[in-house]
Structure formats: structure tokens, C-alpha cells
Structure 1
């Protein structure tokens, strides 16, 4: 028997339930408890039994939590059973009351989960009453602060105060909580042992149905290590690891800010770009370890001469910069003087060796007309370069009308143009005849270089070769000339057969280029160019400046059959002294002397002396700058071997009909 409430509880009607065994309704995990409730014991005199069970509903997987109170009774004691029993029959059953406790049980389970989560949370949690008295703490509080639960309960959160948190932070905290809102922030708290830790804290008010705050829940996370890591990463992102100075990225950011200040406030600031002189000597002689130590010591020295508000940075390598805010040009110059003075007194010691270095400085006034950070640094770098060109260990001030810097900028423009010409094959070759004056021979010419412009014109080498030599591009150009000259002649078989000699100019840097000799040998082999038809021209100045390497270079190529010509001979002060040590085949008499020999007796005597000495030493002579017939006749009378100039033949493209 059961009443109709079962329909509301489980969805079954009373009729459906009659005859069902309890095990069909009870959750499998609760069957053992149910058996104790519903089993009629042999001994009937037992106290009432209680249990909490989970029961399945009829039409779903929904489970109801119920509280069962049951007792063994004699069935004949109830009128409902008495009519169906014999007069002398006695039977026993279970009389019970089932109460639905689902909501209560789910709330209890939820609270148990919350309590478990709080107790095992990796964060410190405590709960206070409205007055701030701590009424609950979790285990993590002890792990974080070192205080036991007993030491904290009844106290206020002031027990964690270090005294280092600003009062304004606490004021904001209470204003936020008083408004019924959640406060979040970082507090500097103190552990029981006295250590300071950073607490990322969230405090929320708990309110009842009437809107009254009953408690405050505080959740803390110890972010000390994370904060220190963030500080370290932030420091590393803005500082140079070797010197601990500001790095290039941070310096650029500060420079942009100062430029904005100059624009907004019409204020004056200055920028110094500095490059150490002779730093490479220390690196090469002692090692990079010594170089690093030198940079650290220099950084410490430079830090002593700048103002507190100035920014000193290492831009990379041995380059430094100083950003001087609200500083006039005169003040900045005084700072550069201090820099030169302290560096001049400095002596670097390493493993018994002593070094003195200098520093070249480019100084620029920051204003709104010079563009952004990149432009300012570029101009300061140019000024530093000019300081080096002027002799190093000095300061050069950038000015818009600076002729030296304008020349440097022009060379930098040529640098891009030259690289573009090399990449896009925009160079072209010309030839100028070297005419024999004593005996006839086949084609003898000098190879000349031109650059093709987009508008169809050509540029003479005097415009771009100085920049190429300054920026170490001349060996690349020389390789291009050699490769294309060999290819041009070997593609014209008949012309090659009639060719007596082609002279190719080599720059001074090519004589010291480690791979140039191998490159020439390779091109001779690849193209099939006869070595005995090739003459390389080197200037007297380049040969004397690199006498040993030039002599070795000449000797090895002459062994292959190549010839050599000494260009501009007579321009050096010691030409004759060096001549006997250079195994060249031709002397090209400097055109400075040749062009005026019909009017100037000294020039005439110089040309005659060079020609005579050259012949005595077994070398043939070539006179340059032959511009008129009288000069040519004079040279022929002297028995100079060859003449070259506009009178004997103007330059023409290499593939023009010979």
C-alpha cells in the first residue's frame, strides 16, 4: 500500500507501484541501505530505521533524493489489512514515510563541492564578517603566509599588512566594497616570517535577500614570482644584456617621445651618436671577451658624465648614443667634451697589455623639421662618420648646409645605384686604343667602364668609382669587368686572333682581395681567354701602398702568362725607388706630365727620364693624355713605345666594329 503522493514524486500511479519490488526503484549504489530498511527481521522488536536513498523516476533518468523512515508493524493493526486477514492470522510488514529531499540534497552537494574547491584551491581564501573579522580560511592561507588557521581566525586582514601598500589603494578598496562592487588589485603583504609577497587580490561582498552585506570573500594569489619574471622580461626587452644600458628599441621609443615633445612644446633637445675608435684592435689582439669587458668599462665611464635625466644607450657593436632632453647645443657640446676627456684618460688593461682608445661623436640638435627617430639617428650617424673621416676622436655637429655631409650623402646615394647596376647588369664596357709608335701590332686597347642610365645616357667612372672604393665595392666591379671582357673577346674569334693586348684596370682593394687571384684563374679557364693577351693595370699609388701583396699578386698571374702595367707612373714621390721591385711589363707615364711637354721643359724632362729608365729596366712605356699632334711627334722622337689619348683614339663601346 502507498498513497497517491508517489505520483508527484516519481511519476508512477499508486496502482502501478503496487506489487513492484523496491529494488526496481532504488539506485544500485543504495540497494544495501534499502535492504536494511525494507527487510523484515526475525526479531520484530527493533527501533525505527532511517536512510537516505536515491530513487529512479518513471519517465526519465531523473533521480530523486528521499529520506525514508521505516518501522516493522503487525499488519492486522491497520484496518486496511484487517479485513483481508484470517482471525488467527498474524503478519508483519514495513510501515514507512518517504520525504522528498532532492532540493536540500542538491544544495548540500553543491555546498560540499564549493567547500572542497575552496579547501583545495591553489589560491588563498578567507571570509570576514562586515566588520572585517576573519571567520574562515582555507589551507592555502597557511601554505602562503605561514599563519595557522587558529592564529588568523578572529583577526582582521591587517595581520597580513606590510605597511608598503599605499594608503590610496586601501581607500579605493573600501570605496569600491561600500558601493557593493568587487575590488581587484595588488597588495604588498607580509608573511609570518616577515617576507614580503605580492598578492593579486579579489574581494567580493556577499549580500542577503534584503541587500545587506553579510560577509566579504577575499581570494588572493601570490604573484611575486610572476611579477619578478615580468619585471625581468621587461628589463631584458629594454636593456642591453652586456652593458645593462638602454638598448636600441627602447632608445628609439624614447627618441620618438622626445621628438613629439619638441613638436608640442617647441623645446630643444640633443642627440649624440658615438663610435669607439680602435675597438677592433682590442678585439683582434686580445679576443672578443676582452672587447666585451672594454664595452662594459666604457659604459660605466659614460654613465658618469651624463645628467640624471639623460638616456645613455648601446645601439650595437661599439656604438653608443646619448639622448639629452631639454638641452641646448652649447650644453650638449660641454657633455661631448666631458666624454672625450674621460675616454682620453682611460687606459684599458687586459692580460698585461694596455690600450688607449678614442671616441668619435656625431652631435645633432633635435627639432621638428628633421623627421622621426630614424632620420635623426641617420643624420647623427653621418656626423659621427664625418668625425672619423676628419681624424677620429672628435665631435662633428650635423648641420643642413654641411658640405662634407652632403658629399657623404652623395656617396651613399651612389652606393645604392652601384649595387643596382651590379644586380641588373647596367654597366657597359668601352675600349680606347693604345697605339704603337715604334712597330705595328694588332689591337691593343684599354678596357674602360661606363654605367648605363635609364634615360639612355652613360655615366663616366669618375662619378661612381670613388664611392665604390670607399664602400668596398670596387672588387665586385673588377670581377664584373674581367668576366665580361673575357666573354666579349672570346665570343669574337677573329677579333681575338688579331688582339695583341687588352688592359684591364684593377683597384687597390682587389690586390688584397683573398679570392681575386682564384677568380681570374677560373675565368681564364672558363672562357678560354689567352692569358698572354691580358694585361692588368694597377696604379702606382695602390702598388706602393700594398707592395708585398701587389708583388705576390703580379708574380702569380705573370706565371700564367698575364702582363702588368703600372698606371699613372711618376705621380708618387718615390716612383723610381719602388720600380725595380715591381715585376711589371709596362709603365704608363702620368698624363699630368705628358699633356704639356711641348710647352713645359720640366714636364718634358720628366717624361724623358721615365721613358729612359723604363727602357733600361726592360719595360715598355705608354704615354697617356695624348691630345694633339705636336705632343705625339715629341713622344715619337723620344721613342716612347705607345701613345693613348683623344688624338690617337677616343673611347668607344667594346663591340663597335674594330
Structure 2
């Protein structure tokens, strides 16, 4: 099996051995750096052990070696922030300071195999260990037991039985007679295992077990300290990124505390409102309100703040120089992990141009582009309103359809610009002559429709129509100075309660009357013909 990469062994290793957080990853020259560090600490450890020169079987000498092992690991932990360096040092120094001939740091994956995180010594045993053990209960091995129970195991890896005999037979090839397996937790959860294989029987007496456990506690604490440091660095990095994003945002951003005291505004807020951060902190957000700010919108904002819920809406606000702008405002409550309200974040966007464009679209949908008066769509809505009002008030309504006479010659002789000018003048004159309750719309070409409400008698209606005739037929001066004139024909459809016609019926009746008026142009007494809208 290749020495590099992941070593998969039955029971338990992940397919690629994790090597710690990204910031702990080894730089390009890490292997040589790691080897140099391990060499220095190994030399110090060897010098210390040789100075003592104790007999290898002496119990105090063995304990001293384990204590020296702990000190060396502590020095490595104090001089590196790289996870892999620490794990490699743990294995290498274990072999230099004890009689063990194989040290292994590993971790299981979901399939029950162990991945090598670090190794030193007789690593070829791990290749031998990788061969299937047909018929043997692999879940009873020492690695799995320690991983499952998270309790260290020393010297006696298997109970008496077939599994122990199989392990002894395989271990005999490498002169292994005892084993120590210790868990390495991280953040309170199982993370990895540290295993030592030793050729001596009962190579790990109780005093050395205590030292080994203290070494693994040191490794665990170091790894967790690094995690805390990395988390703090990551939080600082994220806060830096967030701060840069807020400063660069096109939207105005406001941060307040739970009492709505302004804590922060970004540059876009100042550009939008004209208020500097110190000013808005002192004056508060209410300084953006003014006489035209919708009170209902303010009540909705107050209700959302009181309920500690999200708000999203548009309201009219005031800049520092007094100019107004339409503000699309989003308010987001921020709660602590315990659920307590801590802050509000506000996002502001100037939607004045969008608002004006929307208003223009709405205006265009109901108004004639050339003359600015109502169009057919607007007329349909207005007829419904006028009919309901007439029915409610038991009053009268006249639907009058107008067609201009002699308009085509103006277009043909002077051009379409002159014709457009005539239509605009006629529209303005009709509006001026109608009463406040009346209505005028252009439905196409030189056709107009009037709605005249609230007259009492036909004679009163005819007086209104006569005034309209005088206004329309008066001379019109073109921009070039030429004087032109037009006349008109009109068909009138009358409504009176309790008859309830619809818009189409009334308009068709008025159109038929208009047709009769134009047909009788040479013989008619008036330019209009009035027809009762009620069917026979």
C-alpha cells in the first residue's frame, strides 16, 4: 500500500485524511519545516534521555521517558499553530521517548474504516492490518471499542478467544505484545484516536498511563484553543467583509439598538439624506419625517417596531435640505440566541424615479397622450361611477358623443402638427366649459365623449350644449399665425332612473344619434340630436 494519502483499514478510516482547518494547512515548504522542528525536539529529547542513561527495564527510567515525551509535545504545541505538525510530532516523539515501535493517529469514517491522520514507525503493519479478517467480529477490536466508549485502553486489547489469537498471530510478525489506544475528543465530541504498539508485555503501567492521558489532554486542549483562535479570526474576517460591504452598498443602512438609538449609518445613508452620522445619532430617525409623510405609514412602522417584526414599505421622507424623496424602507429586528431583541437594521433605497415612472404609467393608462384628458379606459370607469351616482341621487345623466366637422381639411392643408394643435385646443375649451361634475374624454381621432350630470330639464341640458358649441367653433390660431375653425356634430343619449343601461348601450345609442346628426347636417336646427337611452 502506498505510503502517501489515506490508509483504509478494517475497522475502522475518512477516504482522505482531514488535515485541520484551512488556516492550519501546511505552506509549500511545510514538510521540511516540520521535519526540522521534529528533528530539533527529538535531539533535545534524546540528549535528555542519554544523559540519564538508565537501564531500559527500570520503572523510573520508563516514567522519565514518558515525562520527557510530554514535555517535548508541550514544546511543539507552544511553537506551532499547524495541526499536522502537532500530530506528526506526537507520533514521532512517542517512538523517540518510549519503547513503542508504531504510533498512529486515526479517525473512522461512516463505513467503519479508519483514516490515517499521522503515523510513525512500523507503518507496514497497517498494510497488513488492512487485509480482511474473514469471520472475525471487527466491531470488537480495541480501536472500535475505544471509539465507541471514549475510554482509554491499555495493554490487553482483546479478551481471550479467537479474536485475541488472531491479533497475536498477526502482531507476532511485528513483535507487538501490548497496545495503548486513547481517544482525542474535540469540542466535546469524538474526533480521533491515538494508538501505540509496543514489543514489551504490559508496556504501559499505571503511572505511564496517567502521563499518556495527560499528553492527550494537552493535545486536545491545544486543538480546541486553535479552533477558538480560528473562529475568532474568521469572525473578525467576516465582520471586516460585512463592514466593507455595508460601506460599499448603494442602499442606506442604519443600525440601532433595541431602544432605536442610532449606532451606525453607512456613507450611502448620508448621501441619500444629507445627514452625517453624528447628526442622525443626535437627532434620531424622526427628523426624516415631514408634513407630507403619510401618518398611516408611520403607524404601520410603529406597530411593526412594537411587535418586533419585519417591516417593508414606502413612504415620503425629507432630506436635510428640505427636498422630499420616496423611501423604500425595510426594518429587520435582530434577536440574541436567547430570543431577546438587541438591534434593528434598516435598509433605505431612494425609489423616487421608480415612483414617478409608475405614476406616469398609471396616468398614461387612463389619459390621452396627445391632449391629457381621459381616454376610453378612463371613460368606462367614469361612466360606472356616474351611473351609480345618478341612481343613488335619482338624477339625470347625458352621454354626448362629439365628432369634429371640417377637421380633416386642417390636417390635409396644414399638416398633422396643426391638427394635433387643434385637438389640444378643443380639449382645453371643452374642459373649461364643463362643470365640475361633468367629464370629457377623447376616444380616438377627432371623437370626444362628454358626461353631463345633474341637469334638471332638457332645456337646461340644451343651454349647456349651446355653450359648448360656442367654445368649440370659435377661431383657433395655429403656431404659424393662420386662423382656422372647426364645427361639430353631436349625438346625445339620455339616462334617467329607474332605467339601468350599461356603458356599451349608452355609447351605442349616442353613436347612432351622432350618425343621424351628421346625416342631417344641412337641415338640422342644432348640431346635436338627443335620444332617450331607455329602450322602447
Contact 2:24 2:81 in 1 (8 A): no
* Consecutive aligned runs of 4 or more in structure 1 exceeding 6 Å deviation: 33-38, 43-47, 52-57, 60-66, 93-96, 109-113
Helix, strand or coil: the match of 1:48?
A: helix
Decide which of 501, 518, 523 is 1:371's aligned counterpart.
Answer: 501
The one-character-per-residue Cα deviations of 1:261-290 (angstroms, maximum 9, x if unpaired) are 444554432222111111112112222221
- Deviation at 1:233? 0.8
CA distance 1:366–1:121, shift in 2 (3 Å): farther
- TM norm structure 1: 0.48
Helix, strand or coil: the match of 1:171?
A: helix
Helix, strand or coil: the match of 1:339?
A: helix
Helix, strand or coil: the match of 2:443?
A: strand
Decide which of 313, 320, 333 is 1:205's aligned counterpart.
Answer: 333
Alignment of 1:157 with 2:207, yes or no, is no
Helix, strand or coil: the match of 1:398?
A: strand
- Deviation at 1:207? 4.0
- Deviation at 1:361? 1.9
The one-character-per-residue Cα deviations of 1:61-108 (angstroms, maximum 9, x if unpaired) are 999999xxxxxxxxxxxx859x99xxxxxxxx9997210748993993
- Deviation at 1:40? 4.7
The one-character-per-residue Cα deviations of 1:348-373 (angstroms, maximum 9, x if unpaired) are 44645432221222222234636211
Moved more, 317-326 or 30-39: 30-39
- Deviation at 1:194? 3.6
The one-character-per-residue Cα deviations of 1:552-582 (angstroms, maximum 9, x if unpaired) are xxxxxxxxxxxxxxxxxxxxxxxxxxxxxxx
Alignment of 1:499-518 (within 5 A): none
Alignment of 1:628-643 (within 5 A): none
The one-character-per-residue Cα deviations of 1:620-654 (angstroms, maximum 9, x if unpaired) are xxxxxxxxxxxxxxxxxxxxxxxxxxxxxxxxxxx
CA distance in 2, matches of 1:115, 1:65: 32
Contact 1:134 1:155 in 2 (8 A): no
CA distance 1:333–1:211, shift in 2 (3 Å): farther
Alignment of 1:395 with 2:528, yes or no, is yes
Decide which of 485, 504, 515 is 1:356's aligned counterpart.
Answer: 485
Contact 1:40 1:94 in 2 (8 A): no
Residue in 2 that maps onto 1:299: 427
Alignment of 1:275 with 2:403, yes or no, is yes
- Deviation at 1:58? 4.7
CA distance 1:373–1:57, shift in 2 (3 Å): farther
Helix, strand or coil: the match of 1:241?
A: coil
Helix, strand or coil: the match of 1:152?
A: helix
CA distance 1:216–1:94, shift in 2 (3 Å): closer
Q: Which has the higher contact order (CA 8 A, sep 6+)?
A: 2
Alignment of 1:59 with 2:113, yes or no, is no
Helix, strand or coil: the match of 1:159?
A: helix
Decide which of 222, 226, 231 is 1:97's aligned counterpart.
Answer: 222
CA distance in 2, matches of 1:179, 1:172: 11
Residue in 1 that maps onto 2:253: 125
CA distance 1:228–1:356, shift in 2 (3 Å): same
CA distance in 2, matches of 1:394, 1:94: 106
Contact 2:493 2:533 in 1 (8 A): no
Residue in 2 that maps onto 1:286: 414
Decide which of 294, 317, 320 is 1:166's aligned counterpart.
Answer: 294
Helix, strand or coil: the match of 1:361?
A: strand
CA distance 1:221–1:24, shift in 2 (3 Å): closer
Alignment of 1:25 with 2:158, yes or no, is no
CA distance 1:119–1:80, shift in 2 (3 Å): farther
Helix, strand or coil: the match of 1:369?
A: coil
In structure 2, the gaps of 5 or more residues are 1-7, 45-74, 88-105, 118-184, 188-206, 213-217
RMSD (CA atoms): 4.6
Contact 2:25 2:82 in 1 (8 A): no
- Deviation at 1:52? 7.6
Alignment of 1:255 with 2:390, yes or no, is no
CA distance in 1, matches of 2:270, 2:339: 32
Residue in 2 that maps onto 1:243: 371
Decide which of 216, 222, 225 is 2:344's aligned counterpart.
Answer: 216
Residue in 2 that maps onto 1:560: none
CA distance 1:350–1:95, shift in 2 (3 Å): closer
Alignment of 1:339 with 2:468, yes or no, is yes
CA distance in 1, matches of 2:425, 2:107: 84
Residue in 2 that maps onto 1:381: 511
CA distance in 2, matches of 1:360, 1:285: 22
CA distance 1:148–1:313, shift in 2 (3 Å): same
Contact 1:127 1:215 in 2 (8 A): yes
The one-character-per-residue Cα deviations of 1:190-217 (angstroms, maximum 9, x if unpaired) are 2334432111112233344665433222
Helix, strand or coil: the match of 2:348?
A: strand
CA distance in 1, matches of 2:534, 2:281: 78
Question: Which is higher, the Rg of structure 1 or of structure 2?
Answer: 1
CA distance 1:347–1:166, shift in 2 (3 Å): closer
- Deviation at 1:347? 3.6
Contact 1:240 1:246 in 2 (8 A): yes
Alignment of 1:163-202 (within 5 A): 163-202=291-330
Contact 2:509 2:533 in 1 (8 A): no
CA distance in 2, matches of 1:307, 1:275: 21
CA distance in 2, matches of 1:165, 1:206: 26
Contact 2:406 2:487 in 1 (8 A): yes
CA distance 1:383–1:60, shift in 2 (3 Å): same
Contact 2:495 2:534 in 1 (8 A): no
Contact 1:348 1:355 in 2 (8 A): yes
Contact 2:186 2:220 in 1 (8 A): no
The one-character-per-residue Cα deviations of 1:397-429 (angstroms, maximum 9, x if unpaired) are 112699xxx9xxxxxxxxxxxxxxxxxxxxxxx
CA distance in 2, matches of 1:298, 1:160: 45
CA distance 1:268–1:29, shift in 2 (3 Å): same
Contact 1:65 1:105 in 2 (8 A): no
- Deviation at 1:243? 0.7
Contact 1:135 1:154 in 2 (8 A): no
Contact 1:273 1:322 in 2 (8 A): yes
CA distance 1:52–1:180, shift in 2 (3 Å): farther
- Deviation at 1:227? 0.6
Contact 1:329 1:365 in 2 (8 A): no
